Structures are given as structure tokens and as C-alpha cells.
Amino acid sequence: MTFLENHLLSILIFLPLLGSLVVFLFPKTSNVKLQMVAFGISLIEFGLSLLLLRYFNSSSHLIQLVQKVSWIPELGTSFFVGIDGISLWLVLLTTFLTPIVILSSTIERNVKSYMACLLILETAMLGTFVSFDLILFYVFWEMMLIPMYFLIGIWGGARRIYATLKFFIYTMAGGVLMLLAIIFLVYLHYDQFGVFSTSLLNMYSLQIPFETSKIFNIQSLLFLAFAVAFLIKVPMFPFHTWLPDAHVEAPTGGSVILAGVLLKMGAYGFLRFAMPLFPEALQFFMPYLIALSIIGIIYGAFLALAQTDLKKLVAYSSISHMGLIMLGLLILNTNGVSGSIFQMLCHGISTGALFLIVGIIYDRRHTREIASFGGLTKVMPYFSVAFLMVTLSSIALPSTNGFIGEFLILLGTFEKNPLWAILAASTVILGAYYMLWMFQRVMFGPVTHPENKVLSDLSLREICVMLPMIVMIFWMGIYPKPFLSRMEKSIDYLVSNYKHYDLGIYEKHQ
């Protein structure tokens, strides 16, 4: 094993943090140069993260590339990172989106701080996905709030302060509940095993008391504390109200990261923590949670239909899509869960791309009202091609990535309960309705506003931003096997063993 292989995850986590310091201490220079420095750092990061694919052994469900360093011995806390089939692609999604977001930035003031924030955010996101220690996870989970808070608050729109406070406090409220649950688990572990440990793997072997007769027993309360923290982040109906505000006010890059990665964190946390730690409570609450996700799917779609603001429409469509992802997870069969994780990647890419699209026309027109556009196909042909592809991906047309994910989730749901599948499938119809209708109003028809006649088409930079997204959309849609095969083992293991979940550390034999 080489040094790089042993330390790859920690390098990935701390490289952006170091990069943010470099950017922050960089001598005064032009904005474009700063942007390029940050872009370079994030590109190196992406290149390094591709090594994960090389070192990752897809025939094992165990945690790989583990690094464990003692951190707070009094609590048994260690810097414990690793990766498995569930987190592998989410890590890559993060490293893939960050350079794109940095490149797409059209921010003009305080570029230095903006770039530093994005890089710190990347550290926090990667740390969240690879932590296998409860305290470490919580540290990264909360750390992520800080750069996002500034991204929305400093570079956001008119109501940015309201939006960012709401975002912070919602997530914080969920987070502290989770903190209480974590502390409780640590002491439960101490009572049962006589040693302090905050390692997630040790928590899996805990016996957490559950009583079927009482709604509120220890396990169900712990489950709820974790679940609420994650469901706020997802966000699932009825915890979704922070999302439209945050999205609408965030700068384009912030929205892309928020929709692309941050929302996935909720679903990921649910899958990694809430489900295997508290299987009985999960069984108990499952029907309610499934009902909430189905409500979220339909409600989000109807809200999206009613929007007149492009960004709001995409934001509400996110709620609908995330409902579908949660449904897939809660179904707990192979198709459902793998569809869900696949859909997380698709949603990250297609919704991220949609926000970029909205950002591109917002930069030109400084409005996002659907009514102030129309007939853009004639003025911006390249743009309309990109927009169309992304739209199709979002409504899950076959041969785009969205189709694979949605299909697998619906298939999994149908195996479990056809009625749920029928209700959830409404997302296909409603999704096509609001997306195509929006596309039609923005792109087709006569050019009604004279300002729109002079709009310039995509610049080279914007093409560079959109192209990787579109490539991924079709690659994942036409040949999803490399993606699915690497998560397969972990998902199979989770689905069949979630009641006695127990992850080990993968030892490489040479």
C-alpha cells in the first residue's frame, strides 16, 4: 500500500482547506486570477479523487481506505474516515461539482472570500461523507453550515439575510437534537461495554432498547432526533420551508452546491446513521415517513407548477425529487436503495445544471421571472440546446440519467407496494408538465421583450461549465453500470442486514 492510498481520504479532506488558506493569503490580484487559482486547486482535488476509483474494491461491502487516528482519547473519539459503496459516488459528486461551481462564478465583489468559502465548504462536505465517527461527523456536519451561511448572506439576493438566518437556524435546530442523541449513544455504549467510544462501527453493535407498546421509548426518541436532523436537511415535507428561501437568495454557485450536495447529506445521513442504528424504530415509523415522502413528491411538484420565478420552480422541483429519493431509501430493497443513491447523483448533476442555466440567464437579464422571457431559442441557440438536455434529464427521459434513477426507485417501490408506486409515479407526469411548460414559456414562441433580442449566447467559459454536466447526464443515462456496480455490494449488504448491521474495515491482501 502506498502512502497516497493510505492517506488519500485525509488528503482529499484537507487539501481544499489548505487551498482556502492559500486563496485567502494570496497577494492582491485580479478577480480572474483568484478564480483560476481556486479552480486549479479544486481541479487537483478532483483529479486526486478519481484515484478513489482505482483503489476502491467494488467486490466488498466493507469500509475501505480507512484512516484512524486517535483524537480525543477521553471519549474514544478518533479521526476515523473511510469509504464504501454508499459514499464513494457522493464524494466524487462533491469533487466534480466544486470546480464547476468555481468556474461558473460571476461574482465581482469579495471574490477572495467567496472562493475561500467554497473550498472550506468542500472540506466540510467531503468530511461529512467519509466520517465514521459520530463526533467527527457532527463536527463536519455543523462546519458545513458556516461557509454556506456566508455564501447566501454575503453574495445572495435581496432577502439574503432572512434566508440565510432561516437556513442556519433550521439546520442548527436539527443538528443540536442529533448532538443530544449522539451523547446519549456514547453513554449507552459506555454502559453496555464499559469503554468510551464514538466510532460508528461500535454503535452498530449496541442494543438500543425498543418497546413496541410505547411510541416514545429510547430507541424511537433517538431515531427521531437523528431523523429530524436529516429530514430538515433533505428537506422532507413538512420541514422544507427553508429551502425555497435559501435557494432563491443564494448566488448561483451556492444554489448548485446546496441542491447538488448539501441536500444529499440528509439522505446520506439517514441511510448511514438513522436506518441501521435504529432498525426497530425505523420499522415503526416507516409508514409515516413513506407517507411524508409521497406527500412531498406530489406537493413539491404542484408548488413547482405554480411558480413564476425560474429559481423557485427549480427549488420546489428539488423538494419533489428529494421526496422520491427518500421514498427509495425507505422502501429498503435493492432496487429502491440503489435507485435512490443513483438518483442522488443524477439530481446533483441535473438540478445543479438547472441552477447554472438559471444563473446564466440571470447574469444577462438580472431577472428570473418566467414571464420576462420567451423565444430565447432564436437568440441563444447553444444555450437552448444545453437547457433542453438538462430539462430532459430532470424529467427523466430515457437515455438521460434521471430515467435510470427514477425507474429503479419506482420499480423497487412497486415490488413493495403498487399503490405507493402509482402515487409516486405522478412525479413523472407532473415533472414533465412543470418542466416542459417552463421550457416552453422561456424558450419558444416569439421574442416578446425587446431586451431579449440582444442577448449573447453561451461564452466559452459557460460552455466549459455546461459541457461536463451534459456529458455526465448522457453517460449515466446510457451506461450506468460502472456507477451501479460499485455501490451494489454495500447496498445488498445494507438491505439484507440492516437489522443487524455491522460494518467491518476492509483489509487489503497483497
Partner 1 sequence: MSNIHFIFYLSPLIILIFTAIFVLLLDVFIQKNNRRLIFSIASLGVIGSAATSLQLWNGDALYLFHEAIRLDKFSLFFTFLSLGLTLLTALSSYPLLQKNNWPLGEYLFFLLSACVGMSLMAWATDLITLFISLEIMSLAVYILTGIERERLTSSEGALKYFLLGAFSTAFLLYGITFIYAATGSTQFSTIAHFLMSSKYTLPPTIYIGLGLLLVGVGFKISAVPFHMWVPDVYEGAPTPITALMATGVKAAGFSALIRLFLVTLSSLKPQWGVIIIGFSILTMTVGNIAALVQNNIKRMLAYSSIAHAGYILIALAAAQETRVFDLATSSILFYLIAYSFMTIGAFTIVSFTQDLNGFGFKHPYLGIAMTIFMLSLIGVPPTVGFMGKFYIFSSALKGGFFWLAIIGIINSVIASYYYLRVLVTLYMKKETDTASSSLSSSLASSLVFNSVLWITAVGTLLVGLFPSSVFKIITKSITALL
Asked if 216 contacts 255 with a C-beta cutoff of 8 angstroms, the reply is no
Beta carbon of residue 193, minimum distance to partner 1 (angstroms, whole number): 15
DSSP 131: B
Nearer of residues 28 and 366 to partner 1, judged by Cβ: 28
User: Is 72 an interacting residue with respect to partner 1 (CB under 8 A)?
Assistant: yes
Nearer of residues 145 and 404 to partner 1, judged by Cβ: 145
Neighbouring C-alpha atoms within 13 Å toward the C-beta of 314: 33
Asked if 272 contacts 83 with a C-beta cutoff of 8 angstroms, the reply is no
Quick one: CA torsion of 139, 142, 144, 150, rounded to 10 degrees?
-130
Asked if 393 contacts 402 with a C-beta cutoff of 8 angstroms, the reply is yes
C-alpha 172, offset from chain centre: 18
Neighbouring C-alpha atoms within 13 Å toward the C-beta of 328: 29
Beta carbon of residue 247, minimum distance to partner 1 (angstroms, whole number): 18
- Sole binder of partner 1 in the list 58, 68, 106, 142 (CB under 8 A): 142
The one-letter code for the residue type at 472 is M
Beta carbon of residue 334, minimum distance to partner 1 (angstroms, whole number): 36
Which of these ranges, 69-77, 325-333, 369-377, 425-433, lies near partner 1 under the rule CB under 8 A? 69-77
User: Is 172 an interacting residue with respect to partner 1 (CB under 8 A)?
Assistant: yes
Nearer of residues 163 and 376 to partner 1, judged by Cβ: 163
Nearer of residues 228 and 386 to partner 1, judged by Cβ: 228
Q: Give the closest residue to 235 by CA, choosing from 141, 325, 142, 335.
A: 325
The Cα–Cα gap between 443 and 445 comes to 7
The Cα–Cα gap between 341 and 36 comes to 32
User: Is 150 an interacting residue with respect to partner 1 (CB under 8 A)?
Assistant: yes
Beta carbon of residue 132, minimum distance to partner 1 (angstroms, whole number): 17
Asked if 48 contacts 15 with a C-beta cutoff of 8 angstroms, the reply is yes
User: Is 206 an interacting residue with respect to partner 1 (CB under 8 A)?
Assistant: no
Beta carbon of residue 185, minimum distance to partner 1 (angstroms, whole number): 10
DSSP 366: S
- Sole binder of partner 1 in the list 4, 21, 50, 161 (CB under 8 A): 161
Which of these ranges, 67-75, 335-343, 371-379, 479-487, lies near partner 1 under the rule CB under 8 A? 67-75
C-alpha 71, offset from chain centre: 28
Neighbouring C-alpha atoms within 13 Å toward the C-beta of 10: 14
User: Is 89 an interacting residue with respect to partner 1 (CB under 8 A)?
Assistant: no
User: Is 139 an interacting residue with respect to partner 1 (CB under 8 A)?
Assistant: yes
User: Is 168 an interacting residue with respect to partner 1 (CB under 8 A)?
Assistant: yes
Asked if 493 contacts 95 with a C-beta cutoff of 8 angstroms, the reply is no
User: Is 177 an interacting residue with respect to partner 1 (CB under 8 A)?
Assistant: yes
Nearer of residues 78 and 490 to partner 1, judged by Cβ: 78
The Cα–Cα gap between 400 and 389 comes to 8
- Sole binder of partner 1 in the list 44, 51, 146, 447 (CB under 8 A): 146
Nearer of residues 71 and 284 to partner 1, judged by Cβ: 71
The Cα–Cα gap between 379 and 373 comes to 11
Which of these ranges, 58-66, 132-140, 240-248, 446-454, lies near partner 1 under the rule CB under 8 A? 132-140
Binding track over 15-54 against partner 1, x by CB under 8 A: ---------x------------------------------
Tell me the sheet residues that pair with 199. Answer: 133
Binding site for partner 1 (CB under 8 A): 24, 71-74, 110, 113, 135, 138-139, 142-143, 145-146, 149-150, 153-154, 160-161, 165, 168-169, 172-173, 176-177, 179-180, 183-184, 186-187
